[in-house]
Amino acid sequence: MMDDVLVMQGVTRDYPVGGAFAKKRTLRALRGIDLTVSRGRTLGLVGESGCGKSTLAKVLLGVEEATSGTVLVDGHPIESYGRIERAKLIQPVFQDPYSSLNPRMTVASIIGAPLQVRGEGTGDSRRKRVEEVAGEVGLPRHLIGAYPSQLSGGQRQRVAIARALIGEPKILICDEPTSALDVSVQSQILNLLHRLKQELNLTMILISHNLAVVHHLADEVAVMYLGRIVEHGPSQAIFDRAHHPYSSALLKAVLPPRPGSRLPELGLEAEFPSPLNPPSGCPFHPRCSNDDGTTCHEIDPEPSGTSHTYRCHHPDNFTQTAAQDQAPAD
Amino acid sequence: MTNIEQTTAPSVALSPGRMTLHRALRHVSFWVGGTIVLAIILAAILAPAITSHDPAIQDLAQRYIPPVWTEKGSWDHVLGTDNLGRDYFARLLYGARISLLIGFMTVLISGAIGTALGVCAGYFGGWADMIINFVITIRLTLPVVLVALVVVALVGSSLTLLVMVIGLLLWDRFAIVVRSATQQLAHREYITSAAAIGSSTWRILFKEILPNITGPLIVVASIELAHAVLLEASLSFLGLGVQPPQVSWGLMVAEAKSQLLFRPWMIAVPGAALVLLIFAINLVGDAIRDVTTPEGKA
């Protein structure tokens, strides 16, 4: 049996919307997430803006609490860990390195903060460890005493990664780690993450809307749509043959690196629906090219498949080999 | 892999606070205002060294001596004497002590109250925010001078009471500004990061939020300092502030009000001192606002 570090079962997260006078409504940011991540694996989480990716990250970090469902970290519910124990297990790397570092702290105190918070080590031993980690993430030594405003975007992101790694966490949650960076720096940060992942046997959740990034780093991919996982499977399987029409559309949405070529045809019809008022039946049906007009409007598809699961009545690319997985539920 | 990022970095890192100070030192109004405020503070502290006169000693033979620039003036009493023959220059210097003391003490008290309330409202949001907003609204409905009048009239006046009353009344602007500044910061990723590395709420409030709102805080403090000095002057003018034999600038104006038409300099002198102090404080506040706002950053 594989060693499951992170298990999510039916995780939902609701936000109340509306003030004292407006009608109270509930925004369901996460609607029953089931996911399991094994030790040392990297899960890529993709989806449009507003689909709940970042909410999921916050729930996993323990910054937000799940409304229902359980998150098991290393076999225990996430709420059972204290503030510091949780921080030892899970660490984040955020999207915007310009807002993820306190402008009033030096690089050394930012990287060393996790140790200071835990009261680990003396000033001297902490400083040594900070230099060690800064070296590991490729941060030039002379920048240790600098302030974030004196650093480039890539250097800032290295600081953020160093801060996340100094306490040797088991799980690293990267929320769009490269989307705020220049293209040239993006690959440096990705290579760094790739190397660290192997050296430290990190389990990683990689949240991104950039499929190339996910392809580069992830062992498996989960596609999110409107607060739920619509397709989940090994990275290669999904990139080769996505079953859910939404995943296919996302894959098609990648711009070809060729000037003058036409914009890709997505087959996504309507706008992204409001999570305040999700569509009936399969939540994807208003935008789906495979919409049959009856079943899709009435029945919410359950996940089908075993290693490569998807929630769709009429999956794409459904060949004989995939059918052996399990018959689609339609 | 890393050599691309070997950009030039300053050999000595300046903290953002130090850089703000450097910018402030290049700001003209910071210099002008700062010099005046500093001069007034020094004059207040060094009062006994500057004048040999005692501000409380009366000399009825020497009443109403006009200041030195008039025909009957003398260098013995540079700014003349008042209705009881007390040296006006000495009273001005010693009066500055009370005015400044009340100003700074009040700002300390009101700043502490307002900052605590504002940070809590901005960071915790929800119920805490609602309750604190309610308290701020209640405070804003109270007319400051009227409340101060009632308290002083009921309890009697003393310097401590005056500081407490003004301090407990002037925290509203601190609370409002700090609340909105905190709200802007509360959703920054470095606050989330601080929570994710296991920081306690105290640590987040004191190490992550407070250092990042010092800019607006200092600006409000300068405004409220001027406000408190003026309020003390008003209360003293109404006879509810500082009580003789203590001196304050407001009290000097009050005592001279019967001479408004006959010896206008008696009101003009402390009045001008007040104007100068308030003007200088506001110059400093303006300069600080200029150098701490992003648009002011060169």
Task: Say whether both A305 and A196 belong to one domain.
Answer: no
- Residue B10 included in any domain: no
pLDDT of residue B81 exceeding 50, the answer is: yes
Is there a contact between A106 and B13 if contact means CB atoms under 8 Å apart?
yes
Is there a contact between A102 and B212 if contact means CB atoms under 8 Å apart?
yes
- Report the percentage of chain B scoring pLDDT > 70: 93
- Residue A219 included in any domain: yes
Residues in chain A closer than 8 A to B15 (CB atoms): 104, 106, 147
pLDDT of residue B265 exceeding 60, the answer is: yes
pLDDT of residue B10 exceeding 50, the answer is: no
Q: Name the residue of chain B whose CA is nearest to A151's CA.
A: B9
CB proximity B195 to A under 8 Å: yes
Task: Say whether both A85 and A179 belong to one domain.
Answer: yes
* pLDDT band of A328, cuts 50, 70, 90: very low
Overall average pLDDT of the A72-80 stretch:
88
Is there a contact between B2 and A138 if contact means CB atoms under 8 Å apart?
yes
The pLDDT, as a whole number, for residue B4 is 45
* pLDDT band of B236, cuts 50, 70, 90: confident
* pLDDT band of B114, cuts 50, 70, 90: very high
The pLDDT, as a whole number, for residue B14 is 67
Overall average pLDDT of the A247-265 stretch:
75
pLDDT of residue A42 exceeding 80, the answer is: yes
Q: Which residue out of B1, B21, B189 would a mutagenesis test of the A interface target, given it has the greatest number of A Cβ atoms within 10 Å?
A: B189
The pLDDT, as a whole number, for residue A16 is 82
Task: Say whether both A227 and A277 belong to one domain.
Answer: no
- Residue A150 included in any domain: no
Using CA atoms, how far residue B77 sits from A38, A154, A310, in Å, is 89, 69, 95
Residues in chain A closer than 8 A to B195 (CB atoms): 61, 63
Task: Say whether both A320 and A174 belong to one domain.
Answer: no
Task: Say whether both A185 and A258 belong to one domain.
Answer: no
Per-residue tokens: B210: 């407070």
Helix (H) or strand (E) holding A323: helix A320-323
Residues in chain B closer than 8 A to A101 (CB atoms): 190, 193
pLDDT of residue A19 exceeding 70, the answer is: no
Task: Say whether both A326 and A183 belong to one domain.
Answer: no
Is there a contact between B196 and A61 if contact means CB atoms under 8 Å apart?
yes
The pLDDT, as a whole number, for residue A110 is 92
- Residue B274 included in any domain: yes
- Residue B199 included in any domain: yes
Per-residue tokens: A66: 């799940």
The better pLDDT of the pair B11, A311 is held by: A311
Task: Say whether both A234 and A282 belong to one domain.
Answer: no
Interface of A with B in 13-72 (CB under 8 A): 58, 61-63
Helix (H) or strand (E) holding A112: helix A107-118
* pLDDT band of A266, cuts 50, 70, 90: low
Q: Lowest mean pLDDT: which of A134-143, A289-298, B131-140?
A: A289-298
Of B9, B199, B211, the CB nearest to A117: B199
How many independent structural domains does chain B possess?
1
Residues in chain B closer than 8 A to A180 (CB atoms): none
Is there a contact between A146 and B11 if contact means CB atoms under 8 Å apart?
no
Residues in chain A closer than 8 A to B200 (CB atoms): 83, 117
- Residue B2 included in any domain: no
The pLDDT, as a whole number, for residue A329 is 44
- Residue A133 included in any domain: no
Q: What is the mean pLDDT of chain A?
A: 83
Is there a contact between B192 and A90 if contact means CB atoms under 8 Å apart?
no
Angle at B119 between CA B179 and CA A92, to 5 degrees: 105
- Residue A8 included in any domain: yes
Overall average pLDDT of the A261-275 stretch:
69
Give the Cβ contact number of residue B45 at 10 Å: 14
Task: For residue range A55-75, list pLDDT tens digits in order.
Answer: 888 888 888 888 888 899 988
Task: Say whether both A82 and A182 belong to one domain.
Answer: yes
Using CA atoms, how far residue B250 sits from A21, A231, B80, B240, in Å, is 48, 76, 18, 10
Using CA atoms, how far residue A68 sits from A28, A65, A239, in Å, is 11, 9, 32
Overall average pLDDT of the B274-289 stretch:
88
- Residue B1 included in any domain: no
Q: How far apart are CA B91 and CA B53, in angstroms?
A: 9
The pLDDT, as a whole number, for residue A203 is 92
Task: For residue B135, give its domain range.
Answer: 16-296
CATH number, position A236: 3.40.50.300
CATH number, position B143: 1.10.3720.10
Last residue of a domain, one of A191, A212, A240: A240
Last residue of a domain, one of A184, A206, A240: A240
Q: How far apart are CA B34 and CA B251, in angstroms?
A: 26
The better pLDDT of the pair B32, A251 is held by: B32
Is there a contact between B9 and A143 if contact means CB atoms under 8 Å apart?
yes
- Residue A230 included in any domain: yes
- How, if at all, do strands A25-38 and A42-46 pair? unpaired
Task: Say whether both A220 and A287 belong to one domain.
Answer: no
Q: Nearest-CA neighbor of A289 among A311, A273, A265, A254? A: A265
The pLDDT, as a whole number, for residue B66 is 78
Task: Say whether both A216 and A311 belong to one domain.
Answer: no
Of B1, B189, B212, the CB nearest to A94: B189
Is there a contact between B10 and A150 if contact means CB atoms under 8 Å apart?
yes
Per-residue tokens: B227: 């406000």
Distance (Å) from the C-alpha of residue B171 to the closest C-alpha of chain A? 26
- Residue A137 included in any domain: no
Task: Say whether both A198 and A91 belong to one domain.
Answer: yes
The better pLDDT of the pair B170, A257 is held by: B170
The better pLDDT of the pair A225, A281 is held by: A225
Distance (Å) from the C-alpha of residue B70 to the closest C-alpha of chain A? 56
Q: Name the residue of chain A whose CA is nearest to B2's CA.
A: A138
Give the ipTM: 0.79
| Listed ranges A90-104, A278-292, B44-58; the one with the highest mean pLDDT | A90-104
Query: What region does B239 belong to: left with phi over 0, alpha with psi -120 to 50, or beta?
Result: left
Q: Please state the three-class secondary structure of chain B as a single string.
A: CCHHHCCCCCCCCCCHHHHHHHHHHCCHHHHHHHHHHHHHHHHHHCHHHHCCCCCCCCCHHHCCCCCCCCCCCECCECCCECCCCCEHHHHHHHHHHHHHHHHHHHHHHHHHHHHHHHHHHHHHCHHHHHHHHHHHHHHHHCCHHHHHHHHHHHHCCCHHHHHHHHHHHCCHHHHHHHHHHHHHHHCCHHHHHHHHCCCCHHHHHHHHHHHHCHHHHHHHHHHHHHHHHHHHHHHHHCCCCCCCCCCCHHHHHHHCHHHCCCCCHHHHHHHHHHHHHHHHHHHHHHHHHHHHCHHHCC
Sheet of A90-93: strands edge to edge?
A90-93, A171-175, A203-207, A42-46, A220-225, A228-234, A309-310
How many independent structural domains does chain A possess?
2
Is there a contact between B198 and A83 if contact means CB atoms under 8 Å apart?
yes
- Residue A93 included in any domain: yes
Q: How many contacts, defined by CB atoms under 8 Å, are there between A and B?
A: 107
Is there a contact between A92 and B193 if contact means CB atoms under 8 Å apart?
yes
The pLDDT, as a whole number, for residue B36 is 92
Is there a contact between B192 and A95 if contact means CB atoms under 8 Å apart?
no
Is there a contact between A147 and B13 if contact means CB atoms under 8 Å apart?
yes
CB proximity B193 to A under 8 Å: yes
Last residue of a domain, one of A184, A208, A240: A240
Is there a contact between B196 and A113 if contact means CB atoms under 8 Å apart?
no
- Residue B8 included in any domain: no
* pLDDT band of B176, cuts 50, 70, 90: very high
Q: Name the residue of chain B whose CA is nearest to A59's CA.
A: B196
Per-residue tokens: A297: 């409007």
Of B9, B14, B190, the CB nearest to A99: B190
Task: For residue A315, give its domain range.
Answer: 249-330
Overall average pLDDT of the A306-323 stretch:
69
The pLDDT, as a whole number, for residue A318 is 57
Task: Say whether both A45 and A186 belong to one domain.
Answer: yes
Give the Cβ contact number of residue B215 at 10 Å: 19
Task: For residue range A167-213, list pLDDT tens digits in order.
Answer: 889 999 998 888 888 888 888 888 888 888 888 889 999 998 888 88
Distance (Å) from the C-alpha of residue B207 to the closest C-alpha of chain A? 9
The pLDDT, as a whole number, for residue B49 is 82
